Amino acid sequence: MTYSRRAILATGATGTLALTAGCLDFALGNGPLELSAERVAPTDAALEDAGYDEYEIEERSIEETIEVGVERDVEARVWSSIYSKAVEYQGIEREGAFFVAVSIPDVSVLGRSLNPIADMTNEELLGEFMSEIDSDHADVENISKVDSFTLDSLGDGRTVDVFEGESDFEGEPIDVEIPVASFDHEDDLIVLLGNYPAPLAEESANAEVLMESVEHPV
């Protein structure tokens, strides 16, 4: 998973960590800063309506050493919830549509995030999180942004950038569509991502339904 080490917690931030009670051991080097994300996921009702099934749900523990004037250890727990759907294209049916919901704990030192994913564009996040999907389904080339719109998710308007790329469907070339949204919610960074054959217009609507329905924390 490409973001599991440097991409999440590597940082060049420097300065003095405020000695709050929760950060004292971390500041003194007596223990790691422990961070936990709350899981984000679509509702069961939305998944049923869209025809998606659970593909993989996983909580990972990530350990990293960061630089905040001195070296300190950080341990973070990250949630990824992935769902899939069998779709038919040109008479062939296979597991070809996916939805990914990821939550990543965020922390700031002196007002500066230790998580550079917070500053990534949706296009950059796309490169990081396509690896959440099995490589046989995530091999997409010539990706370009084709649209952008806003939908309501977790109580606020969220920008969704839509990308198109080229992949294959059982050996046949096909255009795929990948909507991506990223935003802060309840001290976590949320990334929502869809992936489905572009000719299947109904899957675009399904991805929007799933994005709108997500709950955090689940």
Q: What is the pLDDT of residues 180-195, one digit of tens each?
A: 999 999 989 999 999 9
Specify if 208 maps to a domain.
yes
Query: Using one digit for the tens of pLDDT, what is the confidence trace for 34-81?
Result: 788 999 999 999 999 999 999 999 998 877 666 667 666 777 788 999
Specify if 77 maps to a domain.
yes
The pTM score is 0.80
Report CA torsion sign: 91, 95, 99, 100: negative
Q: Which domain holds residue 133?
A: 6-213
Q: How many independent structural domains does the chain possess?
A: 1
Specify if 218 maps to a domain.
no
Specify if 1 maps to a domain.
no
User: Which tokens in the block code for residue 181?
Assistant: 């949204």
3-state secondary structure of 79: strand
Amino acid present at 187 = D
